[in-house]
Amino acid sequence: MKNLIGKKFLTANKAVRIYKVEIPYASIPSHVTNYSNGEFKLFCTKLLINGCSMKGLLNDYQRISIRMKFPGTSNTISISIEGSGFVNMLASERLASLETSVNTLMKKKEAILTATQGSSNFGQSTSTIPFSETDPDKIIQHFFQQSEQIDTAFYTHYFKGHWIGYMVQALPGADVGEVEKIISNLRSSHSENLWQQFEAEWLFLTNFLFTTECYCTKEMYGQLLLSWSHTDLIESIENSHSEEMVCTSCGKKYHYTPKELSLLLGREV
């Protein structure tokens, strides 16, 4: 596994934590960079970078999966972040081959985000919120603020051949607006010198490892499907509707028949 390295910092007052990832363009999965729909390509890239930053939150046994369901049938994209460091994305075949933009989809009505967090020891919890943003930075920020009630913000940008992502999160004792202030400082700085100055003011805590390389399997994505709302899967089964999915990281296609979906759910077939 080719590891990339993220960094975890605390602000000097120890009230805000910051996760930073830096990903060479060459480590963005080729399937993402080959999308002809430029807007979807950017959406997937930013979602991937956000997922890599979130890896900093997890210990080895934890995982987070986030699924976004856009208006229309089978317009879903999921990102799975494993404590072991694997960050993978899976989209419905229909969404991945979409010619229209996420913006256009969102004009119709709200989209739904479902996040599942858990570990092998403590089971998992799921929360669902509607969202209307079209930028992954804002969508995930909205999730942390609405569902987790933790002031959190993301900033993802491209600089000199690298994608750089920051996740900034308030800890108890943080001032109101402190997270937003850090993000706006980062956003308004356009030189390496300025970023280095910010980092020099933070306390470096630790590195964390992750990879954007894909080793996906049908079983692995089956587990991701299970973290979805079971109502959707049951609806597919009852309508004899297969789920056609494409791994957004490597481009492999996966087909789950109603029978396979039933088996995943542990239902009699």
- In whole angstroms, the minimum distance from the beta carbon of 153 to Zn ion comes to 29
- In whole angstroms, the minimum distance from the beta carbon of 55 to Zn ion comes to 17
Q: Is the dihedral of CA 162, 76, 132, 20 positive or negative?
A: negative
- In whole angstroms, the minimum distance from the beta carbon of 49 to Zn ion comes to 17
- In whole angstroms, the minimum distance from the beta carbon of 214 to Zn ion comes to 3
Nearest residue (CB) to Zn ion, 230 versus 252: 252
Nearest residue (CB) to Zn ion, 7 versus 252: 252
Nearest residue (CB) to Zn ion, 89 versus 233: 89
Say which residues have a Cβ less than 8 Å from residue 256's Cβ, sequence separation at least 6: 222, 225, 242, 243, 245, 264
Nearest residue (CB) to Zn ion, 251 versus 258: 251
Which parts of this chain interact with Zn ion (CB under 5 A)?
A: 214, 216, 247, 249-250, 252
Nearest residue (CB) to Zn ion, 94 versus 157: 94
- In whole angstroms, the minimum distance from the beta carbon of 154 to Zn ion comes to 24
- In whole angstroms, the minimum distance from the beta carbon of 109 to Zn ion comes to 31
